[in-house]
């Protein structure tokens, strides 16, 4: 598909990837209006365990109550409006704003104004509860929505659910060493577009993702969420028990083996494979800066089972994975043999060109890059909202 307008890429204007004004509007019109990923329930095990998450313009606190329930509130003291809780904490006894020590219980009720109650003779504490936000647990993930009256999360994610993997992440074990946070020097939409770009898979990742059959990938949007499935490559699947680098997930018979790699709108990537489940959480920081948080879960299995799988599959992988180009893997992402490093490099190289007067997107692939065009149209629609 030839691109007729050199200032578009291909649907959105170049300024969508560079301007602070666009970025701020996205925070207001997109990220403030969707369910935001906030971690796993097991992150907050005990009463008083809490975390905070930015949902567009809103900072939301999540805390586990005395009754074991997770609740979400806007992280704003009702006294002077200060942000209260710092990002993470364990077993707090109450929610306290450090500015003037106004204190709330785990259900958001104003509990106390230490020492100075006489300063507020007319104050009715019932009117100054924390503003509630919505919280839901869906497929083993915690989500929050700034609107306390948000429609059920199933309304939002339900349509794409049949296209996701058969995985049950709440029954898998997280590998803490695999958790990672990376800052990418690119607009968050480049990271999302890279995630859904089927055209680049056998090209950029010629040395790193050969275990999947990219030619038979099935892609498409369901509502605003992107669904992606591709089968295993035949040489890998022929002897999967031997070739899998770690224990296979037991799904029973009733599913298709392969990689399910959806992008939940706007920036929650999942990678659900025959051996693992990971989340790839895209967090916009600035027009040209994006944080990506990844967390990975594996099936519960003994250490011996992992060692055995690694050992018996090593001969297969020795020839299977390698760098795209020869070079120093420490210095050159293209020599790293690491598909994530390859993707980051591609996103940053795209961002780096945007300031050039010669920049343009000249063409995009009819099938392989359709998801990118569709995604940009979805972003465009959200940005056309008037409030
Ligand atoms: Fe990629």
DSSP 230-247: EPBPHHHHTTHHHH-SSP
| pLDDT tens readout for residues 102-115 | 999 999 999 988 76
- How much is the average pLDDT of 347-374? 95
CA dist., res. 81 & res. 87, Å (int): 17
- Model pLDDT, residue 226: 98
Note the pLDDT of residue 130: 97
Q: What is the predicted pLDDT for the residue at 113?
A: 85
Q: Is the pLDDT of residue 249 over 80?
A: yes
Eight-class DSSP state of 161: G
Task: Match 């990220």 to its residue by tokens.
Answer: 31
| Cβ atoms of 334 and 270 closer than 8 Å | no
> How far from the centroid of its chain's Cα atoms is residue 287's Cα?
18
Joined tokens for residue 118 = 């006489």
Helix, strand, or coil (residue 128):
helix
Separation of CA 341 and ligand 1 centre (Å): 9
Kindly state the average pLDDT of the residues 121-135.
92
Predicted confidence at residue 115, as pLDDT, reads 67
CA 200 to centroid of ligand 1, rounded, Å = 6
Distance from the alpha carbon of residue 186 to the mean position of ligand 1, in angstroms? 15
Q: What is the mean pLDDT of the chain?
A: 94
31: DSSP letter: I
**171-190 average pLDDT score:** 97
Q: What is the pLDDT of residue 121?
A: 84
Measured distance CA(227)–CA(246) in Å, rounded: 25
pTM of the model: 0.95
Residue 145 CA, ligand 1 centroid: distance in Å: 29
Q: How far is the CA of 339 from the centre of ligand 1 (A)?
A: 6
Residue 164 Cα, ligand 1 centroid: separation in angstroms? 19
Longest dimension (CA), the chain: 77
Q: Cα(278) to centroid of ligand 1, in Å?
A: 15
pLDDT of residue 89: 84
pLDDT at 247 over 80: yes
What local confidence, expressed as pLDDT, does residue 342 receive? Answer: 95
Ligand 1 center from residue 340 Cα (angstroms): 7
Nearest to 171 by CA among 140, 142, 143: 140
Reference 9, options 364, 288, 348, 367; nearest CA is 364
Residue 61's beta-bridge partner residues?
Answer: 52, 73
**pLDDT tens string 250-280:** 988 778 899 999 999 999 999 999 999 999 9
- Please report the pLDDT score of residue 181 as a whole number: 97
Domains for the chain: give ranges and CATH numbers. Answer: 36-156 (2.102.10.10), 164-383 (3.90.380.10)
Kindly give the distance from the C-alpha atom of residue 262 to the centroid of ligand 1, in angstroms, as a whole number: 13
| Distance of CA 155 from the midpoint of ligand 1 (Å) | 30
Task: Flag the least confident range among 123-127, 151-155, 238-242.
Answer: 123-127
- Cα(165) to centroid of ligand 1, in Å? 19
Is pLDDT at 81 greater than 90 in this prediction? yes
pLDDT score for 114: 73
Categorize the per-residue pLDDT at 15 as very low, low, confident or very high, splitting at 50, 70 and 90. Answer: very high
**Mean pLDDT for the stretch of residues 39-45:** 97
**SS3 (DSSP) at 59:** strand
pLDDT of residue 278: 98
Say whether pLDDT at 118 is over 90: no
Q: Return the top range by mean pLDDT from 100-114, 175-189, 203-217.
A: 175-189
9 alpha carbon – ligand 1 mean position (Å): 18
pLDDT category, 82, cuts 50, 70, 90?
very high
pLDDT at residue 149 greater than cutoff 80: yes
Mean pLDDT of the region 293-315: 96
In angstroms, what is the span from residue 266 Cα to ligand 1's centroid?
Answer: 17
Q: Residue 3: pLDDT above 80?
A: no
Which among 267, 205, 266, 265 is positioned nearest to 230, based on CA atoms? 205
Q: Is the pLDDT assigned to residue 140 strictly greater than 90?
A: yes
Return the pLDDT at 252: 83
Do the Cβ atoms of 75 and 118 come closer than 8 Å?
A: no
Burial group, residue 189, by CB count within 10 angstroms (0-12, 13-18, 19+):
buried
pLDDT of residue 116: 67
Question: Residue 176 pLDDT more than 70?
Answer: yes
């Amino acid at each position: 598909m030839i691109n007729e307008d050199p200032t578009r890429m291909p649907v959105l204007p170049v300024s969508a990837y560079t301007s602070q004004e666009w970025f701020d509007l996205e925070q207001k019109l997109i990220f403030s209006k969707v369910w935001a990923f906030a971690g796993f329930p097991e992150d907050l095990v005990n009463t008083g365990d809490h975390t905070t998450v930015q949902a567009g313009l809103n900072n939301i606190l999540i805390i586990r109550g005395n009754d074991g329930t997770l609740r979400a509130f806007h992280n704003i003291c009702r006294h002077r409006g200060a942000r209260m809780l710092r990002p993470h904490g364990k077993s707090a006894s109450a929610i306290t704003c450090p500015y003037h020590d106004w204190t709330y219980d785990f259900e958001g009720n104003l509990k106390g104004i230490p020492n100075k109650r006489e300063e507020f003779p007319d104050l009715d504490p019932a009117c100054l509860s924390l503003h509630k936000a919505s919280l839901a647990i869906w497929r083993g993930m915690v989500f929050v929505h700034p609107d306390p009256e948000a429609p059920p999360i199933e309304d939002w994610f339900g349509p794409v659910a049949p296209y996701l993997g058969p995985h049950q992440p709440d029954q898998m074990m997280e590998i803490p060493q695999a958790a990672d946070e990376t800052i990418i020097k690119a607009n968050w939409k480049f990271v999302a577009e890279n995630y859904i770009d089927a055209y680049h898979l056998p090209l950029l990742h010629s040395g790193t993702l050969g275990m999947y059959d990219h030619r038979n990938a099935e892609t498409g949007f369901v509502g605003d969420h992107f669904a992606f499935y591709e089968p295993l490559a035949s040489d890998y699947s022929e002897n999967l028990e031997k070739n899998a680098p770690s224990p296979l997930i037991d799904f029973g018979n009733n599913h298709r083996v392969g990689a399910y790699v959806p992008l939940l709108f706007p920036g929650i990537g999942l990678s659900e494979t025959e051996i693992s489940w990971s989340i790839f959480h895209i967090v916009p920081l600035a027009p040209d800066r994006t944080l990506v948080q990844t967390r990975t879960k594996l099936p519960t299995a003994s250490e011996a089972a992992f060692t055995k799988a690694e050992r018996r599959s090593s001969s297969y992988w020795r020839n299977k994975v390698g760098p795209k180009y020869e070079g120093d893997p420490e210095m050159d992402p293209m020599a790293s043999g690491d598909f994530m490093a390859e993707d980051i490099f591609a996103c940053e190289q795209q961002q780096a060109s945007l300031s050039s007067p010669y920049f343009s997107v000249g063409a995009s692939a009819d099938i392989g890059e359709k998801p990118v065009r569709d995604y940009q149209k979805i972003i465009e629609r959200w940005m056309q909202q008037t409030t």
